[in-house]
Amino acid sequence: MAQILIVDDDSHIREVVRFALTRAGHTVHEAADGQQALALCAAQVFDAVVLDIVMPEEDGLEVCRKLRARSTVPILFLSSRDDELDRILGLELGADDYLTKPFSPRELVARVKAILRRVQMDEAPATRPPEQLQHGPLRLDLGQHRCYCNDTEVVLTLMEFNLVATLLQAPGRAFARDALVDRVWGAGHAITDRAIDTHVKRIRKKFEPFGLDPVETVYGLGYRLRLEVG
163 φ, ψ (degrees, to nearest 5): -70, -45
| CATH number attached to the domain at 3-119 | 3.40.50.2300
Burial class (CB in 10 A: 0-12, 13-18, 19+), 184: buried
Confidence band of 228 (pLDDT split at 50, 70, 90): confident
> CB-side exposure of 108: number of CA atoms within 13 Å?
31
Across 189-194, average pLDDT: 68
Rounded Cα distance between 50 and 163, Å, is: 22
Question: With 80 as the cut, is the pLDDT of residue 128 above it?
Answer: no
**Residue 209, helix vs strand vs coil:** helix
Question: With 80 as the cut, is the pLDDT of residue 154 above it?
Answer: yes
Assign domain 132-225 to a CATH class.
Answer: mainly alpha
191-205 in b/e form (b: 16+ CB < 10 A) is: bbeebbbbbbebbee
Question: With 60 as the cut, is the pLDDT of residue 33 above it?
Answer: yes
Choice among 88-97, 125-134, 207-216 with the minimum mean pLDDT: 125-134
Rounded Cα distance between 189 and 230, Å, is: 34
Quick one: pLDDT at residue 124?
38
Of residues 193 and 109, the one with the higher pLDDT is: 109
Quick one: pLDDT at residue 230?
54
The dihedral sign for the CA sequence 172, 178, 181, 183: negative
Express as a percent the part of the chain with pLDDT over 70: 88
Q: Where are the domains of the chain?
A: 3-119, 132-225
Question: With 60 as the cut, is the pLDDT of residue 126 above it?
Answer: no
- In single-letter form, the type of residue at position 133 comes to L
Question: With 90 as the cut, is the pLDDT of residue 12 above it?
Answer: yes
Using one digit for the tens of pLDDT, what is the confidence trace for 92-120? 778 888 888 888 999 999 989 888 887 76
Question: With 60 as the cut, is the pLDDT of residue 170 above it?
Answer: yes
Cβ(30)–Cβ(52) under 8 Å?
Answer: no
What ranges in the chain are assigned the alpha helix state H? 11-23, 34-43, 60-68, 84-92, 105-119, 158-168, 177-185, 194-207
Across 39-53, average pLDDT: 91
Contacts of 144 (CB under 8 A, 6+ apart): 121, 130
Question: With 90 as the cut, is the pLDDT of residue 7 above it?
Answer: yes
Question: With 70 as the cut, is the pLDDT of residue 80 above it?
Answer: yes
